[in-house]
Amino acid sequence: MNSAIRRLAVAAIILMLALMANSTYLQAFRADDLNGRNDNRRVRDEQFSVNRGPILIGSTPIAQSKPSNDRFEFQRTYASGPLYAPVTGYYSYIFGRAGIELNQNSQLNGSDPSLVFRRVIDVITDRRQQGASVSLTLNAAAQQAAYNGLAGKKGAVVAIEPKTGKVLALVSRPSYDPNVLAGHDLDEVSAAWKRLNEDKTRPMSNRAIKELYPPGSTFKLVTSAAALSSGKYTPETKVHSPAELPLPQTTVPLVNENGRNCGGSDNATLTVALRNSCNTAFGTIGLALGPDALREQAEKFGFGERQLPELGAVASQFPGDPNQPQTAQSAIGQFDVRSTPLQMAMVAAGIANGGDVMKPYLVQGVRTADLKTVSETKPESLHQAVSPEVAAQLTAMMVDVVNNGTGKPGRIDGVQVAGKTGTAQTSPEKPPFAWFTSFAPANDPKVAVAVMIEDANVARDDIAGGTLAAPIAKRVMEAVLGQ
């Protein structure tokens, strides 16, 4: 009898210890995972009862929580939802979070460790938990100008303040309205999610930072930077630039878009080659420098690195081991060169900032509900892409592109603009991508812009970076400069 009781007692102790061990494990190691599960409705109900902090541009909320008369207590709302959707993302009971709503979630819902003192005060004063506000770097006028410019088109615009890396505009179109995903009628939210994901225009795709495109001739800025930095070229160095450039290892030549030599010469200067965007000249430079020099230069501008952790941008790419024909194609932004609009804005901004590429950022600062500063983002240098001397040479060449070359539609009265056009070929069944990247004023840059048009619903022969993308960049630059 005593033996049976002892066995039962031992079994009970083992079960209790196992229960304690499991509880401790769940609390210590699995709490965050379990709390973050989409099927954990208890946590979601609790979060939706928190007065979530606003997302601000200046003092204007573009996302905020308002009292609700249903069981969730607060309704997340988005002013001008599609305009800012690629930045704010959404806050949904069913589908979780995206964008700033995801990256800054712990600040916005007030649970971040940096807000522990605020939570203690709330407990003492018997006040409901309230999230912190997140201020963004966006310029409202520039954001609106970019959004309006992309009306009726598929594309993206990114604008950066060259000296700091502040993102002044980030637009992707077609866009979507986050309000339809933040609603409390869960059947309607599910139906909206289905519609958005089945839409062939992909409105929830963030073309500005999460899609990769061939940059075309805008990449010639990187090739020019590599050439000038090598010490073997100056802006006045003459480069072999015939109508067709025979390539080794293939019978397919590299040709200029207009079927003629560069500016009336088979040996144009580097400045003239950039002005007229001559493929053969930059193919010649690519073959002379080799792929390693081009890749190293691209990486100094940020290729191969993921930027904007606030939104989870993808890394732009330069091909790993191209052969000679592929290297010539890569030098003009074709073959397997792929870039985000953000990356090409960084190229322009780096040149504008004397060769110093600043780390781009969107979150300016975080403040508690009573306006006490929690954090403030400080500008940070990412890479010295080129020397100040080379940056000055590139700037002069880009000014020439806008004044005398393919970038004329980007000119602003009374302001010197530096820019580069691009028209990137894809496949016969798809239209080319139209690009323009620029900065202004050239002598004291306040804004750098990249515009990419994926589809403008125009005839293939009418697609060009100068005619489609440059006017949009012009309006964004004017908005920042107050023109």
Quick: pLDDT tens for 354-365: 999 999 999 999
Residue 229 backbone zone (phi > 0: left; psi -120 to 50: alpha; other: beta): alpha
Chain segment 400-453, per-residue pLDDT in tens: 999 999 999 999 999 999 999 999 887 777 788 999 999 999 999 999 999 999
**Residue 166: what are its φ and ψ, rounded to 5°?**
-60, 135
Strands 133-136 and 363-367: antiparallel
From the centroid of its chain, how far is CA 149? 18
170 has a pLDDT exceeding 70: yes
Q: How many CA atoms lie within 13 A of 252 on its CB side?
A: 5
Per the DSSP assignment, residues forming a β-bridge with 412 are 415
Per the DSSP assignment, residues forming a β-bridge with 339 are 213
Min mean pLDDT across 23-32, 42-51, 109-118, 216-225 is at 23-32
Q: Please report the pLDDT score of residue 42 as a whole number.
A: 66
Q: Please report the pLDDT score of residue 124 as a whole number.
A: 53
460 has a pLDDT exceeding 90: no
Question: What whole-number distance in Å separates Cα of residue 210 and Cα of residue 142?
Answer: 21
pLDDT band, residue 40 (cuts 50/70/90): low
Kindly list the distances between the CA atom of residue 446 and the CA atoms of 179, 296, 414, 421, 451, in Å, as whole numbers in the listed order.
33, 27, 15, 20, 17
Q: Please report the pLDDT score of residue 465 as a whole number.
A: 81
Q: Please report the pLDDT score of residue 126 as a whole number.
A: 44
Kindly list the distances between the CA atom of residue 26 and the CA atoms of 23, 38, 112, 155, in Å, as whole numbers in the listed order.
5, 17, 20, 46
| Lookup: tokens for 478 | 């004017």
Residue type (1 letter), 450 = A
From the centroid of its chain, how far is CA 180? 24
23 has a pLDDT exceeding 80: no
- Domains along the chain? 216-363+380-481 (3.40.710.10)
Name the nearest CA neighbour of 294 among 283, 307, 305, 278: 283
Q: Please report the pLDDT score of residue 146 as a whole number.
A: 98
Min mean pLDDT across 9-23, 152-166, 391-405, 453-467 is at 9-23
What is the arithmetic mean of pLDDT over 81-110? 95
Mean pLDDT, the chain, as a whole number? 91
Contacts of residue 128, Cβ cutoff 8 Å, sequence gap at least 6: 50, 51, 122
Chain segment 126-148, per-residue pLDDT in tens: 456 678 999 999 999 999 999 99
Question: What whole-number distance in Å separates Cα of residue 260 and Cα of residue 279?
Answer: 11
294 has a pLDDT exceeding 90: yes
Q: Please report the pLDDT score of residue 120 as a whole number.
A: 53
Contacts of residue 353, Cβ cutoff 8 Å, sequence gap at least 6: 162, 163, 391, 445
pLDDT band, residue 7 (cuts 50/70/90): confident
Min mean pLDDT across 111-120, 190-199, 315-324, 455-464 is at 111-120
Question: What whole-number distance in Å separates Cα of residue 454 and Cα of residue 365?
Answer: 33
Chain segment 247-287, per-residue pLDDT in tens: 999 999 999 988 899 988 899 999 999 999 999 999 999 99
Q: Please report the pLDDT score of residue 41 as a whole number.
A: 63
Question: What whole-number distance in Å separates Cα of residue 270 and Cα of residue 394?
Answer: 10
pLDDT band, residue 32 (cuts 50/70/90): low
Active site residues: 217
